[in-house]
């Protein structure tokens, strides 16, 4: 009731001087609108930068087999092969924080097309998810292989720009066959250029094929960093028949299947392991959760006892993540400062006009005091006016700000992100600005001597 009365009096006083009220409000409207527009554009920019950094692999998690320790000698990361494609499936099923999972089988060998040959930095066998994990889905030419190709161990591949340059001298490689360690692969796509990674390795120097193909047709063994084709030059004269599943296998691990068995089981039982599993978290914030979930899922999948150490390692890209969070923090700070400045300017405007208003209404203050207003009543009244102006300005400012940012995103095609936080902050801040900058004029008014105030001309 009492508050209502104060607000009513304030509204009445503001109505009495419409023009002044409008001008004062305008300051806050511009301030709040600027804050909201800046915040939304800034958030859009942050998101765009995040997306860019994510394509560098900021959200990428690498699962690597554990180290083997024999008689005190540690063979280092990857010396045991504990990861299987099944693990990749488990991660994609059990880890909600993980967006995409791709198993990877590596190879290093010579590739040949026509008279040219080349040893790519990366020969990766994976699934189509690999391109999602690496945020590499837009192809320069052709298309990526499919899950179907993975199941069939199809001899298809997509290659990076460097290989196109080295093997095809810049001509379109689509539909051409290249030989990878005597296995013919049909090139079905060219990856868009990605350039070097942070370690200076050329990421476009890549041949990507279904992991089943690489695993069973190219490398029969696990990872090898040596040039596998070099050690096998003696076998190079062997005829590579298309029906032979494991062309380069040296020792047979399992009994050879009869033709009947082959007919009954078109998918041979494969005891596969993969060299690495790549996964990406849904967002930078979910990286720790994703690591935890992956660890749990793999421990369960590997039937590890609670006391047993992990037989794998999950790594995150700390360097890029740090760069991302510091960039984001910087932008947020920058926006905050800009927002603060514009609100302070608006606030000073309010203070100015409120001071003028107090001076202009000295007689009114005198009269109110004469009929029984205590200094606090006067203080409250002018504060209420300032706050009403600020809130009014805040509300209009929100509308104008949202409108401007929508316009910016429509007309200039800048990314903007609507932010409820910015709106709440703008209202809270505009009310605070009203209190802070309205206080001095209100205090000044309340300190007036009623006698002088009544006599003021």
Provide the mask over 10-39, with x wherever binding to other proteins is found by CB under 8 A and - wherever it is not: --x--xx-----------------------
Task: Kindly state the DSSP code that residue 328 receives in the 8-state scheme.
Answer: H
- In angstroms, what is the minimal distance from the CB of 388 to other proteins? 16
Give the integer Cα–Cα distance in Å for 76 and 73. Answer: 9
Which range in 170-178, 248-256, 327-335, 446-454 contacts other proteins by CB under 8 A? 446-454
Task: Report, in angstroms and rounded to the nearest whole number, the Rg of the chain calculated over CA atoms.
Answer: 35
Cβ proximity to other proteins: between 369 and 390 the closer is: 369
Cβ proximity to other proteins: between 16 and 322 the closer is: 16
* Interacting residue with other proteins among 105, 178, 373, 398 (CB under 8 A): 373
- In angstroms, what is the minimal distance from the CB of 46 to other proteins? 49
* Interacting residue with other proteins among 57, 160, 366, 394 (CB under 8 A): 366
Number of H helices, E strands in the chain: 15, 14
Cβ proximity to other proteins: between 13 and 105 the closer is: 13
The alpha carbon of residue 267 and the mean position of all alpha carbons in its chain are separated, in whole angstroms, by 38
Phi, psi for 100 (deg, rounded to 5): -140, 150
- In angstroms, what is the minimal distance from the CB of 360 to other proteins? 11
Question: Residue 397 has which token pair?
Answer: 């400012």
Question: Residue 349 has which token pair?
Answer: 């405007």
Phi, psi for 124 (deg, rounded to 5): -115, 135
Give the integer Cα–Cα distance in Å for 447 and 449. Answer: 6
The verdict on 371 binding other proteins (CB under 8 A) reads yes
Q: Does residue 102 contact residue 127 with C-beta atoms inside 8 Å? A: yes
The verdict on 385 binding other proteins (CB under 8 A) reads no
Cβ proximity to other proteins: between 71 and 372 the closer is: 372
Which range in 22-30, 258-266, 324-332, 371-379 contacts other proteins by CB under 8 A? 371-379
The verdict on 356 binding other proteins (CB under 8 A) reads no
Q: Does residue 222 contact residue 275 with C-beta atoms inside 8 Å? A: yes
Question: Residue 124 has which token pair?
Answer: 């990766």
Cβ proximity to other proteins: between 370 and 399 the closer is: 370
* Interacting residue with other proteins among 222, 235, 338, 375 (CB under 8 A): 375
Sorted by sequence, the CB contacts under 8 Å of residue 185 that are 6+ apart come out as 155, 156, 157, 177, 178, 179, 207, 209, 213
- In angstroms, what is the minimal distance from the CB of 435 to other proteins? 21
Strands 206-210 and 122-126: parallel
Residue numbers at the binding site for other proteins (CB under 8 A): 5, 9, 12, 15-16, 363-364, 366-377, 450-451, 454
């Amino acid at each position: 009731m009492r508050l209502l009365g104060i607000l009513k009096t304030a509204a009445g006083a503001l109505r009495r001087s419409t023009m002044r009220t409008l001008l004062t409000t305008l300051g806050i409207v511009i301030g709040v609108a600027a804050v909201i527009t800046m915040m939304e554009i800034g958030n859009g920019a942050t998101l765009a930068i995040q997306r860019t950094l994510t394509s560098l692999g900021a959200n990428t998690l690498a699962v690597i087999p554990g180290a083997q320790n024999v008689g005190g000698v540690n063979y280092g990361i990857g010396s045991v092969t504990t990861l299987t494609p099944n693990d990749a499936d488990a991660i994609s099923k059990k880890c909600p924080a993980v967006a995409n999972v791709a198993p990877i089988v590596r190879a290093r060998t010579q590739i040949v097309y026509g008279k040219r040959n080349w040893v790519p930095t990366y020969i990766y066998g994976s699934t189509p998810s690999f391109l999602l994990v690496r945020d590499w889905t837009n192809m320069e030419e052709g298309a990526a292989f499919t899950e179907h190709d993975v199941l069939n161990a199809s001899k298809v591949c997509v290659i990076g720009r460097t290989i196109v340059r080295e093997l095809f001298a810049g001509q379109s490689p689509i539909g051409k066959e290249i030989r990878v360690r005597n296995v013919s692969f049909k090139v079905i796509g060219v990856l868009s250029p990605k350039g070097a990674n942070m370690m200076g390795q050329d990421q476009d120097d890549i041949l990507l094929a279904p992991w089943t193909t690489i695993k069973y047709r190219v490398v029969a063994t696990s990872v090898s960093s040596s040039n596998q084709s070099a050690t096998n030059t003696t076998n190079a004269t062997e005829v590579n028949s298309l029906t032979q599943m494991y062309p380069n296998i040296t020792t047979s691990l399992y009994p050879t299947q009869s033709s009947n068995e082959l007919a009954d089981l078109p998918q041979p039982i494969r005891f596969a392991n993969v060299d690495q599993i790549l996964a990406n978290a849904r967002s930078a914030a979910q990286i720790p959760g994703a690591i935890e979930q992956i660890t749990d899922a793999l421990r369960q999948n590997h039937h590890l006892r609670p006391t047993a150490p992990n037989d794998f390692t999950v790594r995150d890209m700390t360097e890029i993540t740090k760069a991302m969070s510091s960039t984001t923090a910087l932008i947020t700070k920058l926006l905050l400062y800009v927002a603060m400045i514009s609100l302070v300017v608006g606030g000073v405007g309010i203070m100015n006009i409120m001071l003028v208003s107090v001076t202009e209404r000295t007689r009114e203050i005198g009269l109110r005091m004469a009929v029984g207003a205590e200094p606090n009543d006067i203080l409250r009244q002018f504060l209420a006016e300032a706050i009403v102006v600020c809130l009014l300005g805040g509300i209009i400012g929100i509308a104008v700000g949202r409108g401007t940012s929508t316009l910016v995103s429509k007309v200039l095609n800048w990314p903007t992100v609507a932010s409820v936080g910015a709106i709440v902050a703008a209202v809270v801040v505009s009310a605070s600005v009203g209190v802070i900058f309205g206080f001095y004029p209100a205090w000044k008014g309340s300190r007036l001597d009623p006698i002088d105030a009544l006599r003021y001309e």
